[in-house]
Structure 1
């Protein structure tokens, strides 16, 4: 049976020795894969896990997809207009409008990459709430964008399932996304 705590212990071991993630010594980016139905359990454990990472001698930088998205919406200047239109808009129109904000000038990718690139020293970057990327983008696109940018352990907390050695199924219902470059921990 899958255990979030056992998977986290493996993650902590990898954070302590990120070179063990990949013998080729590529980017220290990896995916902590857990069953989507355990999303709330993971969120409850996260403060304790952050404390344990700090006890291991690392600073933790949390990159919340929710915070990134809200910041981008706020900076777009569209929020008030959206609130006025919300009652008459269909859900597809709203999704398209938000997608436009996230993709304009690679805003989402650049925001995440900026937070990861600016981390140095004994820092672990945790990318959380990635479930909010549905239906706008896939994590693989972000992971690929971070290639050669991450200098510190960078962990995607990924609700999904493992398929083979390097393929993931986001949220357990998207089609299998093959060829992840980063190391994958956990999963079923």
Structure 2
């Protein structure tokens, strides 16, 4: 399984973003092909594909009127069924050569509280992603391998990827 998780405090999000870019540059200078993939951008694309640009504006207006719970359910349905997040991510990763490439999945905080990253990694395994991939995970460690997404949600203990 070519996945690793880099755990960091959610309060360090902006610092980590900058460090990821610096690391990507260093790896590129060593001859690696690095793909930094923002999960926030992929989620935005899925919403635009499902709702259209005009529909997306209406969706945000409806969220203000109807509350966040209905919006969370809608986004979950889109990312899980209509335009599955794992398939959109896998499409981008399948284009990479596993021998000379590495992928960094960033901006996972944008998925909170709609979509769990444990589900994303499990589904990427099912999509047969072969390129080494690092998920930059905002959260806290509980026990040996329990991760609390954003330090808030109940710890998930089913991560098979190595946690750093």
Same fold (TM over 0.5): yes
Q: How does 1:1-188 map to 2 (within 5 A)?
A: 27-84=1-58, 86=61, 87-105=64-82, 107-120=84-97, 121-147=99-125, 149-185=128-164
- CA distance in 2 between partners of 1:97 and 1:179 (Å): 26
Taking a change above 3 Å as real, the CA distance of residues 145 and 96 of structure 1, as seen in their structure-2 partners, is same
TM-score, normalised to structure 2, is: 0.86
Deviations 1:1-26 (A, max 9, x none): xxxxxxxxxxxxxxxxxxxxxxxxxx
Which aligned segments of 4 or more residues in structure 1 are displaced greater than 3 angstroms? none
Deviations 1:23-63 (A, max 9, x none): xxxx1201011111111111122221111121232111122
Taking a change above 3 Å as real, the CA distance of residues 84 and 167 of structure 1, as seen in their structure-2 partners, is closer
Query: 1:82 Cα deviation (Å)?
Result: 4.5
Aligned-pair RMSD on alpha carbons?
Answer: 1.9
Tell whether the 8 Å contact from 1:29 to 1:150 is kept in structure 2 after alignment: no
**SS of residue paired to 2:81:** helix
When Rg is computed on C-alpha atoms for both structures, the one with the higher figure is: 1
Gap regions ≥5 residues in structure 2: none
Query: 1:134 Cα deviation (Å)?
Result: 0.9
Tell whether the 8 Å contact from 1:35 to 1:159 is kept in structure 2 after alignment: yes
